[in-house]
Structure 1
Amino acid sequence: MCTHDDAASQGHAGQNRRGFLRNAALAGAGAAAVGVGASALGGTPAVAADSAAAGESARTGKTGAWNPDPDALQFTLAVMPDTQFLYWGSQDSVNRAPQEESFRYIIDNSGTPDNNIVFMAHLGDLTEDADPLSFQEVDKAFALLDSHGAAYSVLAGNHDVSGDDSRGDTPYLQTMGPQRFRRAKSFAGSDPTGYNTAHVFQAAGRSWLVLALDWRTTDQGYAWANEVIKAHPKMPVILTSHDIVASPYDDNVFPYESGDPENNAVMVGNGQTMWDRLVKDNDQVFLTLNGHYWPPGRMTRKNDLGNDVHMHITNYQNRYFGGGAMIRLYHFDLARNTIDVETINPWILAQDPESRSELAAEHARITGPVDNFSVAIDFEERFSSFVPVPVRPSRPAAEELVKGTLAYWRFDGQGAPGTALSAGQTVRDLSGKGNDLTVVTVPGTAADALTWSADHHPDQPGHASLKFAGGRNPVHGTYLTTGANAPLNAETFRSGYTIETFVMMPLDWDAGRNGWAAILSRRGSAGAAGKHGKNTDLNEPVVQLAISNNGREPQFNHYPLNTTYPTTNWGHGLVELRWWHLAVVNDGRFTRLYVDSAPVADNPSRVSQGLTSLGLPWLLGGHEYAGAVDIVFHGNVGDTRIVNRPLPVREFLTAK
């Protein structure tokens, strides 16, 4: 945090600090320009008089190895804010134990799947007084990271230096300057002053750039930073500095009482300069991190391209033991498009729980809304301006004709997007087995109820689909059917089968109008096939892959050859405007439904052999009840394939 005037620091410093920590949440904004010199806080630092005993770690054993997984889609960025109250050498008050324990935690959790810590960023104010004795101790603590090859960055806060990045030599620069990182694989360089550095870490199969900028950056510093970003045009950028955004509320007010906990920070003078000079027109910068102010907070601001920049304050120096080198863990999950944030104190967590004081136990994990939260980011979309999302090319139909393919229907190259299919029009079966589809329109249906579409699942072989605009009450729409003599009509699949399709529901999908419409079904009722018994509806088709009503759950309801009643596989709810791949696989005994190559929970263990047939056609987008089509599908249907054997996931149409 900031410093005070010298006069206030003399005599009753302990009381002054307590009043300051309680009442001056925004004091940094006013006092930030004051140089370090002799700290106005003075007196006894936040560590207790018995700090040596309190700081003893219960940890035993050796520190592990630095071994992050650079390819895993889940990784963690560790962030350590102001640790200044642990290093006040001019007052003979130094305690490295909390910071070293946090460093051990970071190293030990670099190779664990749950954390996979790939980098640590310190946010400045390493010391309280910028004294050479303080930096000697800081040097010893950071040697733990160096000796294990850990990737990290540091930057100067106002308690480490005075003035701006043109200040010249300082104990900070001598200790934490670029010379410290010359052997580090993650070090990407520094500006001529040495106070601004760049670092690159590897995670989720890509490179990420961290800029660690001085607490007061000059024109040359911003020019250098802009050049670094331009020199790494495809890297997402995390900007770290000591002073960017501030907290507008006091630390005795819960953030949700002062406003939106997701936007409870404000831009301050230096931060606004940084925004104008570096952030707003560099779309690669998606996250900024700073300390200096407390309580913690965050805000989101749109850059010049209209994309979100997430701006976070992290600082716990006003907490027990000066924060005790608390760390914030940013758990990136590119599979879930989420950053889960948590705040922990490894030094306390390493102690025997029974020996912790009540205050220490309270600070082992900080779980308030500004300390423990999640940030939703569609990483591909957010980074698309500088790392365009690769589009998987379409694949020739011949490549998808695996052994046993009986029918393969796809919809590319047959009609301009948005144009309608007309009754009697044919869609060929690309398997060559003669199971072509013919367009059928329900009387009274609009002419554009079935159109060609360029929309498709990103992993679909054919880059096109059919857009159905059907429904019920009254039944309307256009669907497709195999011919009366198509070989597929008589197939019973005694040895197993795989049915695959791609589907997307639009936002206007309605449970009443569109629920229970089939993507694919087989004509012929259960009653006509002689079926009876539990769960049997004599009027329903013998095979149907449909979408249910309120839950939009995929359902495969079929009458096997070996029973008189149906087997039903249920999937989970499917959201609209997202493409889904559905696959039904039967190995001759059991039937399994897959959604996006993942087996669903409700896959019955009942033996179900083959599919009952009355020798009648299959319908794509149509559903028959009591011998008549009663509803037509509403949504898009992509490539659809039927194979006469069970396929492993690696042979699905989505296979890489």
Structure 2
Amino acid sequence: MPGVLSAGEAAATGTGGSASTGSTTSGTVSTANAGRIDTEHARFTLAVVPDTQYQYDEDRGDPAPLTASFEWLIEQRSAENIVFVAHLGDVVQNALAMEFAQADPVFKILDRARFPYSVLAGNHDIDGSKDDTRGDSPYLHTFGPQRFRRMATYGGSTSNGYNSYHVFRAAGQQWLLLAMDWRPSDASFAWARDVIAKHPKLPVILTIHELVNADHGNPVAYFSDHGGRVWEQLVNDSDQIFLTLNGHYWPPGRVTRKNAAGNDVHLHITNYQDRFYGGSGMVRLYHFDLARNTIDVETVSPWIMDQDPAKRNELAEAEIELTDDTNRFSIPIDFAERFAKFAPVPVRPARPAKQLVIPGTAAYWRFDGPAADQVADQSGKGNDLTRVLLAGDAPSASAEFHPDQPGHASWLFPGGKNPARGGYLKTADDAPLNAMTFKSGYTIEAFVKLADDGQDHSWEGLLSRLGTGRDAGKTGSDPDEPTVKLGFSGGLELQWAVYPVDKNDTFTNWGHEMVAGRWFHLAIVNDGRHSTVYVDSSELLRNPATPSNGLSTAGKPWLVGAGHYANTIDQGFAGNIGELRIVTRALKPSQFLNA
């Protein structure tokens, strides 16, 4: 098979240069405008430029739309975190040297800005009757390997120069993009498979000129005859390929197919040459968001956006952006799950309890052992827990845990109410923790997953303290409420409701609605004056500005996995608890258990 040419080995096949100097069409953008990107941020953008052939059609074209698109991408590079630009082929209409001479200076706008990009040959860029063994061409003179070899993203090309690949960094990882010819030969398909094999952990985006087609009135795409060959020779058995992008046909469309591994592959066609002004320099933006597990797609014409609205013609007004479901949409992708077979997210190593017993630790309970009758207090302060059973099933050991949890296990609490069901744990009657008032501040942390069982668990308690406000000498609000309760409302809103030492009334912090069936870390931090609630180390909104000091006590036990009213257990907690830590001072998020 043809060898993979590295950036330093790629042979020059023409006169076009990479990162060369020279004037742009408008002369308005320089390297200084390029902006910075954040390769570690969870959100990044891949810009896609489809068929621009009518802009370079002998003497009938106009480079202004593509010029505006490239200049706009450079201007937006930092704001949108645009990491790469992919052209989908048919740069020009007739494969003529004069047409490539018109296109070349426009692409040099990206070269000067050191903006990485790829270009592939469409059927109008070369002799479309031949595969990529066709030999020399004006296309290669302009967009052969010599143009890209100075780019940091460029990885190499086939020996014939018509297929290439790039590796770019975004969202804290590397991504591989293949730019394949209009008609790859069998040897070039073998080269592509070899490139993927040499990057076994990288997710792959395939760009190629022809793969799927769509019909007017039906945006569900389907394979062309050649597209079926691409699927069978490359995509189906290459699980790393999760997204394919092609032009050639119109209108746009998309479809999702299962590959041989049973995973989704998203196949998209995007092309606007049939629309006003040869597509008006349309750019499709793929906004990857690994925090939200979504790719948001939008389609805009920077050339039209830049026009004076008062002078914009009627046809241009309709093309500023395309907002129909075919051109503006979102794709839900659980990236970690989709890439798990070839690039599993490494499990954070377990950390021994002794590393987490920091100065001021009053109690630390880890539910990483069997569901026994007792759970030891890892702090060594003697606040061990004893299991108490209610009606129904008892708590049981679970292999599930939060990915940032020091202990790699949890207990599943099968709680419920009417009557109270499941079970909970409590400190001994003489445990030191029972008498503590925490006047100097406190931090309470827990790793939790709420049960997603469709049952009513409203106002369930995760952590509470036996003894009511009345028992502690408090008469405000409802004195039958517990002195301390960390729980969840009927809407799964987090609630920290306590009787502080310095007040005769209850004091409540509220959180937002939590998602059942999903692990999270929570922390309540009091610095001796104010209490602040955090979820996954993020400070929440409804934290009172009113001062609050300490926690009232009637000297009674603490409860894990239950709440109470008037000292009567009303229900057992439903869900998983990984571990709990109570510290006698305010911690910063960098000191939390999930840090």
TM-score with structure 2 setting the length = 0.93
Amino acid at match of 1:648: K
Match of 1:649 in 2: 589
SS in 1 for 2:189: helix
SS in 2 for 1:93: coil
1:574-606 per-position Cα deviation (integer Å, ceiling 9, x unaligned): 112211111111111111111111111211112
Match of 1:527 in 2: 470
Q: How many angstroms does 1:351 deviate by?
A: 2.1
For the pair 1:78 / 2:78, whether they are aligned, the reply is: no
Structure 2: how far apart are the matches of 1:318 and 1:439? Answer: 71
SS in 1 for 2:310: helix
Correspondence list, 1:72-221, <5 A: 72-89=41-58, 92-110=59-77, 112=78, 114-161=79-126, 162=128, 163-221=130-188
1:596-653 per-position Cα deviation (integer Å, ceiling 9, x unaligned): 1111121111211111100000000122212221211111111100011111111111
Which residue, 628, 653, 656 being the options, matches 2:568?
628
Match of 1:548 in 2: 489
Correspondence list, 1:182-581, <5 A: 182-248=149-215, 250=216, 253=217, 258=218, 264-412=220-368, 414-415=369-370, 420-421=371-372, 425-442=373-390, 445-446=391-392, 448-511=393-456, 514-533=457-476, 536-549=477-490, 551-581=491-521
Answer whether contact 2:470 2:480 (CA < 8 A) is retained: yes
Q: Which runs of 5+ in 2 are unaligned?
A: 1-24
Match of 2:13 in 1: none
Amino acid at match of 1:478: G
SS in 1 for 2:512: coil
Answer whether contact 1:66 1:149 (CA < 8 A) is retained: no
Amino acid at match of 2:237: D
Q: How many angstroms does 1:354 deviate by?
A: 2.4
Answer whether contact 2:435 2:554 (CA < 8 A) is retained: yes
Amino acid at match of 1:537: D
Q: Which runs of 5+ in 1 are unaligned?
A: 1-55
1:84-135 per-position Cα deviation (integer Å, ceiling 9, x unaligned): 110111xx2231111111111222222x1x3111111100111111111111
Match of 2:14 in 1: none
Higher percent of residues as strand: 2
Structure 1: how far apart are the matches of 2:517 and 2:273? Answer: 46
Structure 1: how far apart are the matches of 2:483 and 2:181? Answer: 71
1:115-159 per-position Cα deviation (integer Å, ceiling 9, x unaligned): 111111100111111111111111121122222222111111111
- State which drifts further: 351-360 or 98-107: 351-360
TM-score with structure 1 setting the length = 0.84
SS in 2 for 1:247: strand
Match of 1:29 in 2: none
1:380-429 per-position Cα deviation (integer Å, ceiling 9, x unaligned): 111111112100011111111121110000022x32xxxx53xxx22111
Q: How many angstroms does 1:61 deviate by?
A: 6.5
SS in 2 for 1:407: strand
Correspondence list, 1:601-616, <5 A: 601-616=541-556
Structure 2: how far apart are the matches of 1:278 and 1:61? Answer: 39
Answer whether contact 2:30 2:112 (CA < 8 A) is retained: no
Structure 2: how far apart are the matches of 1:166 and 1:160? Answer: 14
Answer whether contact 2:367 2:577 (CA < 8 A) is retained: no
Match of 1:39 in 2: none
Match of 2:16 in 1: none
* Closer/same/farther in 2, CA of residues 319 and 213 from structure 1, 3 Å limit: same
Structure 1: how far apart are the matches of 2:167 and 2:138? Answer: 25
Structure 2: how far apart are the matches of 1:562 and 1:228? Answer: 67
Which residue, 524, 527, 531 being the options, matches 1:591?
531
Q: How many angstroms does 1:509 deviate by?
A: 4.7
Structure 1: how far apart are the matches of 2:503 and 2:592? Answer: 28
1:400-459 per-position Cα deviation (integer Å, ceiling 9, x unaligned): 1121110000022x32xxxx53xxx221111011111011112xx24x411111211110
Amino acid at match of 1:384: A
* Closer/same/farther in 2, CA of residues 66 and 490 from structure 1, 3 Å limit: closer
Answer whether contact 2:400 2:409 (CA < 8 A) is retained: yes
SS in 2 for 1:354: coil
Identity of aligned residues (%): 54
Answer whether contact 1:94 1:137 (CA < 8 A) is retained: no
1:5-56 per-position Cα deviation (integer Å, ceiling 9, x unaligned): xxxxxxxxxxxxxxxxxxxxxxxxxxxxxxxxxxxxxxxxxxxxxxxxxxx9
Q: How many angstroms does 1:336 deviate by?
A: 1.5
Answer whether contact 2:468 2:479 (CA < 8 A) is retained: yes
Match of 1:49 in 2: none
Answer whether contact 2:280 2:319 (CA < 8 A) is retained: no
- State which drifts further: 496-505 or 599-608: 599-608
SS in 2 for 1:183: coil
Structure 2: how far apart are the matches of 1:650 and 1:325? Answer: 47
1:47-82 per-position Cα deviation (integer Å, ceiling 9, x unaligned): xxxxxxxxx98x966561264332222211110000
Number of residue pairs aligned between Structure 1 and Structure 2: 568
Structure 2: how far apart are the matches of 1:634 and 1:210? Answer: 45
Q: How many angstroms does 1:573 deviate by?
A: 1.4
1:444-475 per-position Cα deviation (integer Å, ceiling 9, x unaligned): x24x4111112111101111111111211111
Amino acid at match of 1:538: P
Answer whether contact 2:29 2:71 (CA < 8 A) is retained: no
SS in 1 for 2:100: helix
Structure 2: how far apart are the matches of 1:69 and 1:456? Answer: 31
* Closer/same/farther in 2, CA of residues 299 and 139 from structure 1, 3 Å limit: same
Match of 1:15 in 2: none
Structure 1: how far apart are the matches of 2:35 and 2:539? Answer: 36
Structure 2: how far apart are the matches of 1:594 and 1:104? Answer: 42
SS in 2 for 1:406: strand
Structure 2: how far apart are the matches of 1:327 and 1:602? Answer: 42
Structure 2: how far apart are the matches of 1:238 and 1:636? Answer: 38
Match of 2:6 in 1: none
